[in-house]
Amino acid sequence: MHDDHFCSMEDGPICLTPQINAPAPDFEAKTTQGIKKLSDYQGRWLILFSHPADFTPVCTTEFIAFAKAYPQFQSLNCDLLGLSIDSTFAHLAWIRNIKQNFGVEVPFPVIEDLSMEVACKYGMIQPGASETSAVRAVFFIDPHSVLRAMVYYPMTNGRSVNEFLRLLQALQTSDKHKVATPEGWQPGDKVIVPPPATAADAEKRKDEGYEYVDWYFCKKSL
């Protein structure tokens, strides 16, 4: 098999890094909730995230956090889809174990990727960390199947699900209002007005009613 994101060679798969603002790599994969394809999520946001292995403590804390935040993601028109280089049977056993030991039900599907095909399309395999397990990668895919953001974490450190909720809302706010968001932005905070593109517009910026610091730095409330 060969495409822009994955190719198989005699010494194993070559994994390439996907590109922000480019079409997300297509996939069709077996999951804990049946076959899932990227096209199934057209019209909705999708957060695709990988974890190194089932039945591991850091991954368990992450899955609990994603599961608890699932209603918030759903309210933002966003689905969740997990992945690791484990079998569906391992995924199902682990999900049942999480419910038994922690009282948390995992409501989203988890991809079985024993072939590492999806993982390699999304650059989840990092040889410096492991050649057989996915790192902690997160991909934000918009309703048009465009990759909008990606985050990689090492195997030793868990991710912040609250940060992913924040980033999702920031991306949606930027799309809706054609603005940028500053460091640490939270819903309700002021947003950054895109800088003017011409000298004439820069000259007028001070009188346009924004919270003005300089011609290139203005904020406003939504």
Distance separating alpha carbons of residues 201 and 205, to the nearest angstrom: 6
Phi then psi dihedrals of residue 7, to 5 deg: -145, 150
Long-range contacts of 64-69 (CB under 8 A, 24+ apart): 64/98, 64/102, 64/104, 65/161, 66/106, 66/108, 66/161, 67/98, 67/104, 67/105, 67/106, 67/107, 67/108, 68/104, 68/161, 69/161, 69/162, 69/165
**CA 73 to centroid of chain Cα atoms:** 12
What number of helices (H) and strands (E) belong to the chain? 5, 12
Secondary element (H or E) of residue 78: strand 78-84
The string over 95-119, giving b where at least 16 C-beta atoms fall within 10 Å of a residue's C-beta and e elsewhere, is beebeeeeebebebbbbbbeebbbb
Quickly list H helices, 78-220. 88-102, 117-121, 161-177, 199-204
Query: Which residues are designated catalytic?
Result: 59
